[in-house]
């Protein structure tokens, strides 16, 4: 996707996959500015570490407390978070008006969950409930966003009733194909067993957002579409957050349709 975008605007740049173990993350990233890298995207499990390693951070990255985009210039590292912009743009494109006034359930309290909650608060959600397999982590997320939730009810739930929400958003890694493995195999096993949501709980009028990108869609996204629900899947968010990262690295407008085509048919 990014390589197609670089080519479309005439940049002789290359976007490459770099696997980094958590214990090496700090040293690898600090060495990148001197190795010709202009920037980087960061994904699970490094989004919190990416903010910590940076010399400076955008207001969005600081408020979310996690970064998915790094910029290298003059030997310094700047952290940004385009997950927020990616989710906002995806909702605007696929579900105009959402999430204003909606009762929202966010599954996951990691870096993606933090970005999702912040985007929902900015979008005027009526309420946001956070679930995480470790309840304490959900509680920490909610406490950290209290000051941002002036007009939005913000709480946690250990056993949420998915049928009572207008919007269900998956910000966990459930449904993600294992790196280097069979795409039919999912992290966490069956998505409805790993998440507090069952297909039977989905009801007419609900909306499902799944931040996980998986060719063909995750089980959660497929179940939502089978029931005729509005659905924003990880593909939409992937393209829009990638476009936001592209703009930060290059200072140019992103060729969105080129990126969409390349991501769909790499």
Note the pLDDT tens digit of each residue in 230-255.
Answer: 999 999 999 999 999 999 999 999 99
Query: How do residues 72-90 score in pLDDT, each as one tens digit?
Result: 999 899 999 999 999 999 9
Q: Which has the higher per-residue pLDDT, 149 or 239?
A: 239
Q: Rounded to two decimals, what is the model's pTM?
A: 0.88
Q: State the pLDDT at residue 217.
A: 83
Judged against a pLDDT cut of 70, whether residue 143 lies above it is answered with: yes
Q: Are residues 148 and 119 in the same domain?
A: yes
Helical residues (DSSP H) of the chain, grouped into ranges: 2-8, 25-31, 47-53, 59-64, 83-94, 111-122, 135-144, 191-194, 219-226, 234-250, 256-264
User: Is the domain of 36 the same as that of 162?
Assistant: no
Number of domains in the chain: 2
CATH assignment at residue 209: 3.40.50.720
Of the pLDDT bands very low, low, confident and very high (cuts 50, 70, 90), residue 12 is very high
Q: Give the pLDDT of residue 209.
A: 96
Residue 244's domain spans which residues? 2-83+237-264
- How confident is the model at residue 176, as a pLDDT? 54
Return the ∠ at Cα 121 (arms to 149 and 136), rounded to 5°.
65
Long-range contacts of 251-256 (CB under 8 A, 24+ apart): 252/9, 254/5, 255/4, 255/5, 255/8, 255/9
The CATH number of the domain where 10 resides is what?
A: 3.40.50.10860
Q: Residue 104 pLDDT > 60, yes or no?
A: yes
Among 9-18, 88-97, 216-225, which stretch is predicted with the lowest mean pLDDT? 216-225
Asked if residue 70 and residue 99 are part of one domain, the reply reads: no
What value does the CA radius of gyration of the chain take, rounded to a whole number of Å? Answer: 18
Under the banding of pLDDT at 50, 70 and 90, the label for residue 190 is: very low
- Pairwise CA distance, residues 149 & 137, whole Å: 18
Same domain, 219 and 140: yes
Lowest mean pLDDT among 56-70, 99-113, 119-133, 186-200: 186-200
pLDDT computed for residue 238 by the predictor: 94
Residues known to be catalytic:
47
pLDDT, the chain, mean? 91
For residues 12 and 133, membership in a common domain is answered with no
Strands 76-80 and 69-73: antiparallel
Q: How far apart are CA 62 and CA 57, in angstroms?
A: 6
- Let me know whether 54 and 144 are in one domain: no
Express as a percent the part of the chain with pLDDT over 90. 78
Look at residue 150 in the predicted model and tell me its pLDDT.
80
Tell whether 43 and 146 lie within a shared domain: no
Same domain, 249 and 185: no
217 with 127, same domain? Answer: yes
Q: Across residues 182-209, what is the average pLDDT?
A: 70
If pLDDT is split at 50, 70 and 90, which confidence band does 175 have? low
- pLDDT at res. 80: 98
Pair (249, 163) in one structural domain: no
If 0-12 CB within 10 Å is exposed, 13-18 middle and 19+ buried, where does residue 12 land? exposed
Q: Does residue 159 carry a pLDDT above 70?
A: yes
Please give the average per-residue pLDDT across 89-103, as a whole number. 96
Over residues 195-210, mean pLDDT: 92
């Amino acid at each position: 996707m990014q390589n197609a975008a670089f080519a479309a605007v005439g940049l002789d740049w290359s976007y490459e996959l770099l696997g980094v173990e958590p214990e090496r993350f700090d040293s690898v990233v600090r060495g990148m500015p001197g190795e010709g890298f202009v920037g980087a995207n960061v994904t699970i499990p490094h989004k919190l570490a990416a903010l910590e390693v940076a010399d400076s951070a955008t207001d969005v990255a600081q408020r979310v407390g996690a970064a998915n985009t790094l910029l290298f210039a003059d030997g310094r590292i700047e952290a940004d978070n385009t997950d927020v912009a990616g989710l906002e743009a995806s909702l605007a494109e696929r579900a105009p008006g959402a999430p204003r006034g909606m009762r929202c359930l966010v599954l996951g309290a990691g870096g993606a969950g933090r970005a999702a909650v912040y985007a929902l608060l900015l979008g005027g959600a009526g309420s946001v409930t956070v679930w995480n397999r470790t309840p304490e982590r959900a509680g920490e997320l909610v406490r950290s966003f209290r000051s941002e939730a002036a007009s939005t009810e913000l709480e946690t739930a250990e056993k949420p009733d998915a049928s009572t929400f207008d919007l269900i958003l998956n910000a966990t890694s459930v449904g993600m194909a294992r790196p280097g493995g069979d795409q039919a195999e999912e992290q966490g096993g069956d998505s409805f067993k790993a998440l507090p949501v069952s297909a039977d709980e989905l009801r007419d009028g609900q909306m499902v957002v799944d931040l996980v990108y998986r060719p063909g869609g995750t089980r959660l996204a497929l179940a939502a579409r089978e029931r005729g629900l509005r659905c924003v899947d990880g593909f939409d968010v992937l393209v829009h957050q990638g476009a936001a990262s592209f703009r930060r690295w290059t200072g140019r407008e992103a060729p969105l349709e080129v990126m969409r085509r390349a991501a769909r048919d790499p």
